Structure 1
Amino acid sequence: MQDDDLGRHKIEAPIWTEELIERRRQRNRAIAWTLVAFIVLFFVVTIVKLGGNVANRPF
């Protein structure tokens, strides 16, 4: 007898309510803003570490 015949491994699709959709959008926005902040932080740290030496390098 297979697992599907017994109904043990059936997964129901979620019911997407407006509240769940909005919460998901908010979560995605928070993740996006965190990623943007992380990228800006890396950029600023890189510029600070390089300092004025960026313009003084030989070509």
Structure 2
Amino acid sequence: MIRATHEIHDRRRSRNLGLGLVLIAFVGIVFGMTIVKVGNGEDVLGTGMVTQEAGQ
């Protein structure tokens, strides 16, 4: 089977790869921040619903 690739497919592939990397980086940053906040015993959602007794 002969498969011809067009220039637009290469551009789309590189754009999709770049967007995928940006999304993975964003998810990694959010995950890392969540782990740090949980590790410090802070309220993750910032609602203030976690009391001092629950944190200890």
Query: How does the TM-score come out when normalised to structure 1?
Result: 0.58
Q: Count how many residue pairs are aligned between Structure 1 and Structure 2.
A: 41
Unpaired runs of 5+ in structure 1?
1-11, 53-59
Corresponding residue SS for 1:14? coil
> What is the match of residue 7 of structure 2?
18
Return the offset for 1:34. Answer: 1.0
Return the offset for 1:14. Answer: 2.8
The list of structure 1 runs, each at least 4 consecutive aligned residues, that deviate by more than 2 angstroms after superposition, is: none
Provide, for residues 5-25 of structure 1, a one-character-per-residue CA deviation record: whole Å limited to 9, x for no partner.
xxxxxxx24322111100010
Q: Percent identity?
A: 12
Q: Distance in 2 between matches of 1:37 and 1:13?
A: 39
Larger Rg: 1 or 2?
A: 1
> What is the match of residue 44 of structure 2?
none
* Larger mean Cα displacement after TM superposition, 33-42 or 13-22: 13-22
Query: How does the TM-score come out when normalised to structure 2?
Result: 0.61
Q: Which has the higher contact order (CA 8 A, sep 6+)?
A: 2
Structure 1 residue 51 corresponds to structure 2 residue 40: yes
Output the amino acid matched with 1:41.
V
